Amino acid sequence: ADPSVSSDAVVAGWFTDRVRIPLADLEIRGVEPGPGRRWTNPPRSGSAWDSPLGVADIELTGPMTVEWRLPPPAASFSAIAALGGTIDRPDASPGPWADASVRGSVRTDEIPDGDTGRVTPPLASVPLDSEKVRSAFSCMLPGVGDPNRTLVIEVLEAAHGPIQDRVLLQRPFLLGR
């Protein structure tokens, strides 16, 4: 049996601060615009004060790649990816050309023997469009305990190109061991 439940079905939860790690609390290591673009807006975080689970939403204006330094105990990542939402208007409908894919992977940093690090194959990928504007986005993170990991989240253009590819990560957090 599948033990997962929809996020709308969760009424309450209790995590100790030691194991629930809001993504918005982590250091952003880098922000890159998508291919063919010279710039992008940086990620915007909302307020954790009035957010479910005390986890602030993060707005990503794609196409773009954002990297966050992972704490060693981080074992999994979870969020809801919503196309078209903003920090100020989370339920804003996407524009007529909006479509994107959100992809997550982990990169390990350079290690002492001179290796330049490596990126995992995508751990999770969700397509978003006018038919499917919200989707659960979660994955297990390899290398628990390694202090040299980076979470890489990409907002990629889809069939309609790099137009209106804004994605709101709702309640993005890590669970640690």
How long is the chain? Answer: 177
97 closest CA partner among 129, 62, 61: 129
Four-residue CA torsion sign, 145, 69, 173, 138:
negative
Rounded distance between C-alpha atoms, residue 100 and residue 73, angstroms: 30
Q: Along the 177 residues of the chain, how does pLDDT read in single tens digits? A: 555 666 566 666 665 555 889 999 999 999 999 988 899 999 999 988 877 778 999 999 989 999 999 999 999 999 999 999 899 998 888 988 899 999 999 998 755 555 556 777 899 999 999 999 999 999 999 999 999 999 999 999 998 888 888 999 999 999 998
Please return the burial class of 119, using the count of CB atoms within 10 Å of its CB with bins 0-12, 13-18 and 19+: exposed
DSSP 8-state symbol, 100: E
Residue 38 has φ and ψ, to the nearest 5°, of -90, -20
Q: pTM (2 decimals)?
A: 0.85
Residue 25 has φ and ψ, to the nearest 5°, of -85, -10
